[in-house]
Chain A
Amino acid sequence: MADKQLNEKQLQALLRLKRYEQPPPGYFNDLLAGIHERQREEMLRRPAWRIAVERVKTFFQSMRVDWRYAGTMAGILLTGVGIIQIAMPKQRPSAIATSNPALNAQPVAAHSTPPQPVLTLNVQDQKLLPPLQRVVVPARSGTQPAPQFVGGGLPASYEATQIRF
């Protein structure tokens, strides 16, 4: 038994019989359905940015845009914008103010600067009064609401009021 051996031709004939081993009927239709399912699963797992990039690419592909041409045009556009930026002198707000005397006369808006003392009373010249220190009234910032009073001057009370008839 041990010395029995197939020759090359017999072995190849035997191996070729394996071609008749076939998958179950209808297997290839099921395979296509299985691949579709896996494609859908993979689509759902993809990040939104990648889908967006692909959509943009597809859009440009459908327009038959040559990417080299589009890149060149984008480069020219950016260079043009850069040249315009360099060529146009930049005017700072301070420069505008000093160059325009009419604007210099205008007070600077209170909101644009931090709260500063805006009113100073010096009453040292009045002889009837004892010498006083400088009274500095801080400016109210624009964001703080004005105090509200009920009844034209009385502060509101949380105490329960007795109703009288």
Chain B
Amino acid sequence: MAAGEIDPVAAEKEASRREDEALVARAQAGDSAAFDSLVVKHSPKLYAQMYHMTSNHDDANDMLQDVWMKVYRNIKGFRGKSAFSTWLHSIAANTAINFVQKRGRRWTMSLDDVDNGISNDKEFAELTTQSTPVRDADLSEMQRKINEAMMKLTPEHRAVVTMFDIQGMSHGEIAEILKISEGTVRSRLFYAHKQLQGWLGEFAPNPTP
């Protein structure tokens, strides 16, 4: 990118941050419509964070409602030291980690519907055109195996994988949300990837003859 050129991603983030600031100020003054706007805006990303931590829709729904009620109770105390989305995802991450730790290994998977858009996904197309077991595997079966592998990770490692690999957050953002150093984020990712590579080895492409 040329010097002086505006990064569209950064500009979009900045606009979103300003919009959040205005909505939070209104919500703090008791404007319920502004609070609803925050719920509508951030829930899809929060839901994904909750769902990928549990692989269960009902658990994700319960946790998401809990997170919004915590925000509702504490929004007046939010001083804006960090971005609202960072504060929000921090509450969500802690809620999810505590939930999974309390629940222990007892979990049931309830797979959410795979969006039809997956067939148009470039990476999915690449995976299936190669001579790989992904092509032969049933989509829901593959989904189940990925989720099972995710559930084998510790909650802390799962949170990092969810935010980095699935939600596309940066190391810095994750460090701020989880209140850990970027180095810790990187080491957790490295360790989690090593484990997942072993558990999902069956989806590795067949060696070319």
A and B are partners in one complex rather than unrelated chains: yes
Q: Which residue of B lies closest to A29 (CB)?
A: B40
Residues of A within 8 A of B39 (CB): 31-32, 35
Does A34 lie at the interface of the complex (its beta carbon under 8 Å from any beta carbon of B)?
yes
- Give the CA-CA distance A111 to B61 in the complex, in Å: 74
Q: Which residue of B lies closest to A38 (CB)?
A: B69
Contact of B166 among A6, A15, A24, A32 (CB under 8 A): A15
The verdict on A17 contacting B202 (CB below 8 Å), with A28-B40, A35-B69 known, is no
Q: In chain A, what residue has the closest Cβ to B145?
A: A14
For chain A, give the interface size range.
Answer: 20 to 34
**Does A35 contact B44, Cβ atoms closer than 8 Å?**
no
Residue in B60, B73, B166 whose Cβ sees the most chain A Cβ within 10 Å? B166
Residues of chain B in range 1-53 having any CB-CB distance to chain A below 8 Å: 29-30, 36, 39-40, 43-44, 47-48, 51-52
Query: For the complex, what is the distance from the CA of A24 to the CA of B61, rounded to whole Å?
Result: 11
The answer, among B52, B61, B113, B197, for a CB contact under 8 Å with A18, is B52
Is the pair A22, B196 in contact by a Cβ cutoff of 8 Å? no
Known: A34-B65, A35-B65, A38-B69. A19 touches B166 (CB 8 A): yes
Interface of B toward A, CB cutoff 8 Å: 29-30, 36, 39-40, 43-44, 47-48, 51-52, 57, 60-61, 64-65, 68-69, 72-73, 111-115, 117-118, 121, 123-124, 126-127, 134, 142-143, 146-147, 150, 161, 165-166, 193, 196-198, 200-205
A–B complex contacts, Cβ < 8 Å, 18 sampled: A8-B193, A8-B197, A13-B126, A14-B134, A15-B146, A17-B143, A18-B166, A19-B166, A21-B51, A21-B114, A23-B51, A28-B47, A32-B40, A34-B61, A34-B65, A35-B39, A42-B69, A42-B72
